[in-house]
Amino acid sequence: MAVPDFQAVMLPLLVLMGDGAEHSLAEVFESLGDRLGLSPEDRKELLPSESESKFDNRVRWAAFYLRKAGLLERTGRARIRITQPGQKVLQAKPTRIDIKLLKQFSEFREFQQGAKKSDSQEGGTVAKEEEHETPEETLEASYQNLRRTLAQELIDRVKKCPPKFFEKLVVDLLVSMGYGGSRKDAGQAVGQSGDGGIDGIIKEDKLGLDVVYLQAKRWEATVGRPVVQAFAGSLEGQKARKGVLITTSQFSQEARDYVSRIEKKIILISGEELAQLMIDHGIGVTEARTYSVRKIDLDYFGEE
């Protein structure tokens, strides 16, 4: 089953805590996952940032909001326990616990007012009744949307660039990724060969212990298996073992299946992947704004 949203987790979490005992978050993740019938794959599903599992993140936020309403309390480092008000909520046998229900508690209303004030000053986000994503997930989704838009703008620009500029772009990217030795070495190697379908030869590392053969073309149409197979044949003619094929369009599934079956190591980089690599390595982009998302350093505070 799909991982429930953080508001849907609130009631099962409070029920789990209904025994009145102190529980560690690690215990909560395990027991709650069992109660909800989540598979190992569900529990391992990561946030877009890959910093934490989606399930653990949603449980943390559910526990955070329940604590702000006074239904749970922290008893130590990453340890929680149900409170008397929390027991009273369970005794009322609610069918769902969500932000709308939590608003009946003055502690939660005060928290929301303070969070909204900070939100308006700093441009952050506060979870609303109708939202199913945690604030962290909302922030990450916005970031990924901005990144996708930027990637599309980048590849549109790249397609309009002259061939010489495209060669320079490829050199800049490869050097920033640690290939090609120095920029001078890479610049001399890329765009110089043109021999049998090879556009360039670059060092795999700064010492030149191995080389990688390169073909980079600004295609518009989908690149199929014949083009990739021809590149593999060019590598064979050079007695080469490794190659990188870059396009500004995309590769067919047949092309990708082909390189997965052959002995030679050929990496296919589509236009979308090229744009993402450019963003990751700062090629053709500049930093507009930085948001630093921080969390409590439990090591600093030690045992509480």
Q: Kindly state whether residues 127 and 160 are assigned to the same domain.
A: no
Question: Which is more confident, 134 or 269?
Answer: 269
252: domain CATH number is: 3.40.1350.10
pLDDT mean over 266-275: 94
Q: Kindly state whether residues 129 and 160 are assigned to the same domain.
A: no
Rounded Cα gap, residues 104 and 98, in angstroms: 11
Indicate if the pLDDT at residue 123 is higher than 50.
Answer: no
Highest mean pLDDT among 95-109, 164-178, 278-292: 95-109
Indicate if the pLDDT at residue 112 is higher than 90.
Answer: no
Is residue 50 in a domain?
yes
Per DSSP, what are the bridge partners of residue 1?
none
Phi, psi angles (nearest 5°) of residue 48: -55, -30
Q: Kindly state whether residues 211 and 105 are assigned to the same domain.
A: no
Is residue 145 in a domain?
no
Indicate if the pLDDT at residue 141 is higher than 60.
Answer: yes
Share above pLDDT 70 across residues of the chain, in percent, rounded to a whole number:
86
Is residue 291 in a domain?
no
Closest CA to 245 of 25, 264, 18, 45: 264
Is residue 147 in a domain?
no
Is residue 302 in a domain?
no
Domain count for the chain = 2
Scanning the chain, the segments in alpha helix (DSSP H) are: 6-16, 25-35, 40-44, 54-68, 84-91, 99-102, 106-122, 135-160, 163-176, 183-189, 225-237, 253-261, 271-280, 298-301
Q: Kindly state whether residues 93 and 177 are assigned to the same domain.
A: no
Closest CA to 85 of 12, 18, 13: 18
pLDDT mean over 285-292: 82
Q: Kindly state whether residues 176 and 256 are assigned to the same domain.
A: yes
- pLDDT at 122 (0 to 100): 46
Share above pLDDT 90 across residues of the chain, in percent, rounded to a whole number:
51
Question: Which is more confident, 14 or 289?
Answer: 14
pLDDT mean over 97-123: 79
Q: Kindly state whether residues 208 and 255 are assigned to the same domain.
A: yes
Rounded Cα gap, residues 71 and 300, in angstroms: 26
- In this prediction, residue 252 has a pLDDT band, given cuts at 50, 70 and 90, of very high
| Domain that includes residue 66, residue range | 6-133
Per DSSP, what are the bridge partners of residue 223?
251
What tokens were used for 212? 């990688």
In order, the DSSP letters of 79-95 are: EEEE-HHHHHHHHT--S
pLDDT mean over 257-276: 93
Is residue 290 in a domain?
no
Q: Kindly state whether residues 34 and 78 are assigned to the same domain.
A: yes
Q: Kindly state whether residues 117 and 15 are assigned to the same domain.
A: yes
Q: Kindly state whether residues 189 and 97 are assigned to the same domain.
A: no
Q: Kindly state whether residues 125 and 160 are assigned to the same domain.
A: no
pLDDT digits (tens, 9 = 90+) for 6-53: 999 999 999 999 999 999 999 999 999 999 999 999 999 988 777 889
Rounded Cα gap, residues 228 and 222, in angstroms: 11
pLDDT digits (tens, 9 = 90+) for 189-219: 665 555 555 677 887 777 767 788 888 888 8
Is residue 168 in a domain?
yes
Indicate if the pLDDT at residue 118 is higher than 60.
Answer: no
pLDDT digits (tens, 9 = 90+) for 221-244: 999 999 999 999 888 888 888 889
51: domain CATH number is: 1.10.10
Q: Kindly state whether residues 123 and 165 are assigned to the same domain.
A: no
Rounded to two decimals, the pTM is: 0.67
Q: Are 56 and 116 contacting, i.e. CB atoms less than 8 angstroms apart?
A: no
Is residue 230 in a domain?
yes
